[in-house]
A = this chain, B = another copy of it.
Amino acid sequence: MSDAASKPKVYKPRPVTGFPEWLPEVRLIEQQWFDHIRRVFESYGFCSIETPSVEELDVLRAKGEVDKEIYVIERLHKDENDKSDARLALHFDQTVPLARYVAQNFNDLVFPFKRYQMQRVWRGERPQAGRFREFYQCDIDVIGVDNLPLHFDAELPAIMWEVMNGLPGMENERIRVHISNRKILMGFLESIGVSDEKTCREITTAIDKIAKSGLPLFYQSIREIFEKLPDHDTQEILVKMQEFGRIADLYKSSDELRDKLTHSEFIDTSHQTIREGIEELCFVMDNLSHLPEGAVVADLSIVRGLDYYTGTVYETVFLDDPSYGSICSGGRYDDLASSYISKKLPGVGISIGFSRLFARMVDQKKIDTSRKSPAEVLVMMPSEEQRPHIIALCRTLRENGLKVEMYHAAKKFPDQLKYASRKGIPFVLITEEDGTHKIKDMITGDQSEVDPKTWTPPTRKALDHVA
């Protein structure tokens, strides 16, 4: 009832920085990505869970370091007198909610608990190039009670390899999974007399930064760490770290790794922690031997910054774009939910930074955006009198599993064809005056007579994005 002529000056809406949003043709591929990831996760028996977008602020704050990135939520017109509600905040990852979920539902879950979770998370960062404040993460974790077999440490990289190599648009990307085991480095540090937890953490942080900042800065960091510690000879430590650097190489198989380390003069393979780390890493590599050569490497320079990892650690990189950093990463941890439950819950998990990866492929125009509609066929409407017949025709096609748009009005055929073309609908069904039907392939322009009761698109497999 409003009248365009009398409208007030309009307000041009703008996108909110850091909160991605896609056009339909891009969203269609995003859905294909989610479908593919879900299909792979489920093919390994992982179940889906979703947690609320919010947790109590105290639950989130337990992981103090990201404090400043937390978004709290508040009712616009809250009752100032009402203190009944705990303060709520949007979750910034899916690990804290998983810990709360597992502790809360402990008696209803079957362990090892294999779950995947694909939800939005929020980080209240200052908007800057490539940083999202709302984004999807796709996580898988396996949680055990008291212990968790190494089997799962080997299963996750195989899953990630399969995920990464099936994403539409990623066909030409060369991906490599790097795997290490923190016990090797931790054991090495122990063996050279460094066992103080804080110092170990500072060293792993420094190692984690080598790829970004380079070796000279790394050695400077090590110097700074040990110059504060009078018990250690900084120069000697530096020599030892350089020695470790010589074995921190890439290994394509457990044989290569075992061979190099047992013959290395720089590492004491009889040291218990080191030996455990090597054995675990070799087990993981052996169980991934079915993957193509070079898909997975043991890489002792990988440590991951987060200090809750205790064994296997993973990173996945673009071979031709190392500056992107890790596409998906994760590792093994000793105890998921120690603040909530007195059971020990070891786990292993990997997380894909979905939105950042997807946005990269969109920016690089590597995804196909030719289809603005999921419809596989547009059914043309020849005349108003034919409407009941056309409705029935569409129903028949849908019953055969097709995605069908019925054109809404008896416009001229060229107009209807133009509509199909603009939406990127690949086929058009034409009903002739004599009652026969023709399919027009909108890409080749070919037309052929068909029986709508049995017709399916010749390229159906390629079109059907819900497998």
Q: Mark A5-18, 1 if CB is under 8 A from B, else 0.
A: 00110111111100
State which residues 111-142 of A face B: CB under 8 Å. Answer: 112, 114-115, 120, 122, 124, 134
The answer to whether residues A68 and B73 also contact, given A49-B24, A287-B391 and a CB cut-off of 8 A, is: no
The residue in chain B whose Cβ has the minimal distance to the Cβ of A408 is: B151
The answer to whether residues A104 and B14 also contact, given A24-B109, A71-B73 and a CB cut-off of 8 A, is: yes
Asked whether B75 lies within 8 Å of A70 as measured between CB atoms, the reply is yes
Q: Is A319 an interface residue (CB 8 A)?
A: no
* CB contact between A46 and one of B21, B23, B287, B374 (< 8 Å): that residue: B374
Q: Is A229 an interface residue (CB 8 A)?
A: no
* CB contact between A374 and one of B42, B54, B425 (< 8 Å): that residue: B42
* CB contact between A134 and one of B38, B52, B334, B425 (< 8 Å): that residue: B52
Residues from chain B with a CB closer than 8 A to the CB of A74 are: 71-74
* CB contact between A45 and one of B14, B68, B289, B405 (< 8 Å): that residue: B405
Residue among A10, A51, A103, A387 with max Cβ neighbours from chain B (10 Å)? A10
Q: Is A27 an interface residue (CB 8 A)?
A: yes
Q: Shortest beta-carbon distance, A364 to chain B, in Å? A: 19
Asked whether A372 lies within 8 Å of B43 as measured between CB atoms, the reply is no
Question: What is the CA–CA distance of A71 and B74 in the complex, to the nearest angstrom?
Answer: 5
The answer to whether residues A149 and B31 also contact, given A76-B124, A134-B53 and a CB cut-off of 8 A, is: no
Asked whether B67 lies within 8 Å of A76 as measured between CB atoms, the reply is yes
The answer to whether residues A12 and B340 also contact, given A77-B68, A392-B290 and a CB cut-off of 8 A, is: yes
Residues from chain B with a CB closer than 8 A to the CB of A338 are: 2, 4, 7, 10
Residues from chain B with a CB closer than 8 A to the CB of A10 are: 103, 338-342
Question: What is the CA–CA distance of A68 and B78 in the complex, to the nearest angstrom?
Answer: 8
Q: Is A462 an interface residue (CB 8 A)?
A: no
**Count of chain A residues with Cβ under 8 Å from any Cβ of B?**
113
The answer to whether residues A21 and B101 also contact, given A2-B334, A31-B48, A290-B395 and a CB cut-off of 8 A, is: yes
Q: Shortest beta-carbon distance, A370 to chain B, in Å? A: 13
Those 9 A-B pairs whose CB atoms lie nearest each other, nearest first: A45-B405, A19-B52, A45-B375, A75-B124, A151-B408, A24-B47, A70-B76, A68-B77, A42-B374
Q: Is A403 an interface residue (CB 8 A)?
A: yes
The answer to whether residues A373 and B4 also contact, given A23-B105, A108-B23 and a CB cut-off of 8 A, is: no
Asked whether A90 lies within 8 Å of B68 as measured between CB atoms, the reply is no
Asked whether A71 lies within 8 Å of B67 as measured between CB atoms, the reply is no
Q: Is A255 an interface residue (CB 8 A)?
A: no
Q: Is A20 an interface residue (CB 8 A)?
A: yes
Residues from chain B with a CB closer than 8 A to the CB of A404 are: 43-45
Q: Shortest beta-carbon distance, A466 to chain B, in Å? A: 7
